[in-house]
Structure 1
Amino acid sequence: MNLKPNWDALGIFTSVACAIHCAILPLLVASLPIFGINIVENVKFEFFMIFLALAVGIYALYHGYKKHHHSLLPIGLFVTGICFLFAKQIFSAWHLLLLFPAVILIVTAHWLNYRSCQKANHCHATDCNH
């Protein structure tokens, strides 16, 4: 049995995990600093999550674009969402205002990529390299 990861599903998962971390986790774990644990405002963890979403997204969207659908729309949405994530790190006063469009754009990009790949699965057009 050949198991291949669904990179779009993984991208959606990491984006949602980031949103949960950024929006809900501070409400649930406000007491963690009492125990010396601080992942709520940890800049290294924040950037790790952003770069993880970026790495998964680049792979999934490039693969979908190159091998299946040749549409730039998911890539454009993804890049815009990632820009919003970096902006939320720079402009911390607008953290939540920038977070929600970022997550919506990134999840939408992966969803469109997934749907486009399913629609164009094995298109065998002259510009496909499979």
Structure 2
Amino acid sequence: MKTEQVGESILETWTADEVEEAFANDEIVLIDVRTPQEFMFEHIEGALLMPLAFFKAEKLPGQSDKRIVFHCGSGARSDKVAREALAAGFGRIAHMEGGFGAWKGSKKPYIGTNMATGAPQVVS
């Protein structure tokens, strides 16, 4: 994990492996900030959707039970919303480096769309 001091706050950048482990152990809430269309086509099972276009940092829950980790397609949008969360007063927030592309590139399981039927299916 990489950390960056942003004012009085900390921005963490997690690898796909770190996210996978923490998510499997129920230590984090994974929030996808891609569009609803991107999410419907393929997503990490169990991730929540809060698209960048509708993102309101002040509506995020606290992190008393689980940490928040954002992700997007490449890491650019999740970095942006993580910084917005820090600006809204979060002391520490995280996002996944490389986004969903890094997740898929690491051969981690996700929910994809069966192109023959249009139905969701586990891809591993």
Question: Could you say which TM-score interval applies, normalised by the shorter chain?
Answer: under 0.3
Greater helix content? 1
* Structure whose alpha-carbon radius of gyration is higher: 1
TM-score normalised to structure 1 length = 0.27
**More strand by percentage:** 2
